[in-house]
Amino acid sequence: MIFEPSWWLRGQHLQSILPSFPGRRPFVERRAASMLAVSQEHLLDCGDGVRLQAFHSPASSPNPDKRPTLVVLLHGWEGSAQSLYVLSLAQSLHEQGFDVVRLNLRDHGDTHHLNRDLFHSCRLGEVVGAIKEIQSRFVKDRLVLAGFSLGGNFMLRVAAQAQQADLRIHRALGISPVLDPAVTLDALERGALLYRWYFVRKWSRSLRRKQQAWPGQFDLDELMASQDLRRMTRELVLSHAGYPRVEDYFAGYAITGDRLAGLVVPSTLVTALDDPIIPAADLARIAQPPALKIITTETGGHCGFFESFTGPGWIDRLVLTEIDP
């Protein structure tokens, strides 16, 4: 499938802003109404006392021509199960007869009260635990994982651990996934001020909610004080994530190098060459086992791939195609 947006949608920044642009919410939620109407909240036991929130929308009209399939969707950093890009894809899948689960990472959405310790991107074990619980509770036949940005990074890492975790994954998809977080932070610092402002604002708001949910347990004022992504990341890593160096933390969730070398689950990585947040040059540093398919587009920005303002978008159609190639 070739992504060819209208001329006015070709800008990398416009494509990157649209996924979370508030003006789209009425259109997306209206289209997703049937999926949201049957959505049920679940708290998943992820092991070690960790609970993650998920929303399950069972297929209203299963497709008799396809095997029963459940798709787990995972948002990006400081997104949630209610993010517009998640809702859009969830509805596209649901109306085609798929069961859908929208999963929230720790401290995302309205979940800051569920677990005491702070979220960080190396908490892979609890996401694996959540997928195992979903597999046990809801999967009748096939399990598919799909994630956006940091969520795409998580889903590809989960897929790489499928055999040792006894996960029976039919396919995994990472859409604009974080490749090397050190390079991503550099790109954010060099790039448009808008992105830094957006993530600092969202992260600071999340940290305030965490502090309010656990009064007296945290002093996050210093973490929030700098309003600088690099300084905030350093404070998180050294004071709350248990890593001696920021470099060790970044290496803990990078998917460059040999991280995906043992991947056996059929997986698809989709990214745009003009992504302003995830430099596509890092694709050359990823192991490419036979199970991994990489799709690049000339334009599309970060998690964009929009052909119209209201959607559904090209990425929704691509995911449907990749599930049953």
CATH number, residue 128: 3.40.50.1820
Domain membership flag for residue 191? no
216-229: per-residue pLDDT in tens?
Answer: 998 898 888 888 99
How is residue 42 written in tokens?
């679940």
Residue 58 backbone dihedrals phi, psi, to 5 degrees:
-65, 150
Indicate the pLDDT class of residue 140, thresholds 50, 70 and 90: confident
Domain membership flag for residue 197? no
The pLDDT of 270-293, averaged and rounded, is 97
The pLDDT of 115-129, averaged and rounded, is 98
Count: domains in the chain: 1
Domain membership flag for residue 147? yes
Domain membership flag for residue 229? no
Domain membership flag for residue 271? yes
Predicted TM-score (pTM) of the model is 0.97
Domain that holds residue 95: 7-179+257-323
Distance CA 66, CA 132 (A): 23
The pLDDT of 175-181, averaged and rounded, is 98
- Percentage of residues in the chain with pLDDT exceeding 90? 88
Q: pLDDT at residue 183 above 80?
A: yes
Domain membership flag for residue 309? yes
Domain membership flag for residue 2? no
Domain membership flag for residue 101? yes
